[in-house]
Amino acid sequence: MRMKQKNTVSIIGVDLFCGVGGLSHGLMKGGIRVAAGVDLDESCRYPYEANNRSKFIRKDVRKLQSGDIEPFFAEGSLRLLAGCAPCQPFSTYSQKNRTGIRDGKWDLLLEFGRLVREVQPELVTMENVPQLHGQDVFQSFLDSLSGYHLWHGVVDCVRYGIPQTRKRLVLLASKLGPVSLIPPRRHAQKSVTVRDSISNLSKIVAGESNPADPLHTSCSLSPRNLRRIQASKPGGTWRDWPIGLRAKCHKKDSGMTYPSVYGRMEWDAPAPTMTTQCFGYGNGRFGHPEQDRAISLREAALIQSFPMDYKFVRPGDTVKFNVLGRLIGNAVPVTIGKIVADSLMNHVVKLPNQK
């Protein structure tokens, strides 16, 4: 076991599939040093390195070897391998292939397991979609953790102070002893709301940016969509609109099951799950509670629990909604990373040889 002397615990991590650094940033806020992040998407490099004091490695995890990772770990520290392997949306599956392992949809998770077997870090954490829990490939991943103490469960982000109705599968593994995620704070009296998260940002109109913060920018709206959001109530649906504003899909039986599309968020409730299209008014309940526009990219990042000063684009670079929406929507909420770090730090300091 790698441990500093004098009861000082040091954990150094490598973040696979690091994206813009949501998991890494949360781990660092919890006292874990993340030495490097690995991702194939070059657009992640600037936000990852600008905010996390870590090295970004652009590489396909399928081609990553243990020798690429091990130099980032330091003697005297516990090693953590972390990551959120991307998985294709479940809506694209056929029932025939839902439990398949090697159908191309889950190979990145299997590569994560391969690297765990090769590196044998003392600690592992994985975050993913809740539906993974019922897949054969999840058991295959657990098999790669032979010799580890395991904890895994579906985490309700609202209960951990994240202002959105997001649920994620979280796994912790340790060679050192039993490990578990710290419980939600029992003293919390209410959920963190949209108001708590974004109400202090400056007002902007659809299609406008705040000169002081280029990420606080909102998509433009067509005249018809502007009339639609003006007719929308916080927490309401398109059924609140005059008949003439309703879309053709709303008039079909199939459209009746999507009441949140074109909806406004509510100030005093958590936001819906941030998706890669959360910047678009017509993509879900992503309308601002009172301003006639979709939420801005900065507001989406805040709802994902990124700090206000998190940098996503180089000064002077163009803000691209499709790129940044994808990066923000796919990110692990920073607070989840912090909770994982707190859990792992709590775990290692309570080890018998640390008392």
User: Which residues does the annotation mark as catalytic?
Assistant: 87
Instruction: Give the largest Cα separation in the chain, rounded.
Output: 72
What is the layout of strands, in order, in the sheet containing 55-58?
55-58, 33-39, 11-16, 78-83, 123-128, 167-174, 149-156
> Residue 9 corresponds to which tokens in the numbers above?
């615990």
Beta-bridge partner residues of 292: none
Residue 169, beta-bridge partner list:
128, 154
Residue 14: strand pairing partners: 36, 81
The pairing of beta strand 78-83 with beta strand 213-217: unpaired
The 3 state secondary structure assigned to 238-250 is HHHCCHHHCCHHH
DSSP state of 289: S
Name the pairing type of β-strands 33-39 and 11-16. Answer: parallel
| Whole-number Å distance between alpha carbons of 116 and 248 | 50
Question: Residue 286 and residue 102: Cα distance in Å, rounded?
Answer: 35
Q: Which two tokens stand for residue 66?
A: 């243990």
Contact (CB, 8 A) for 176 and 147: no
How far apart CA 289 and CA 280 sit, in angstroms, is 14
Provide the 8-state DSSP code for 317. P
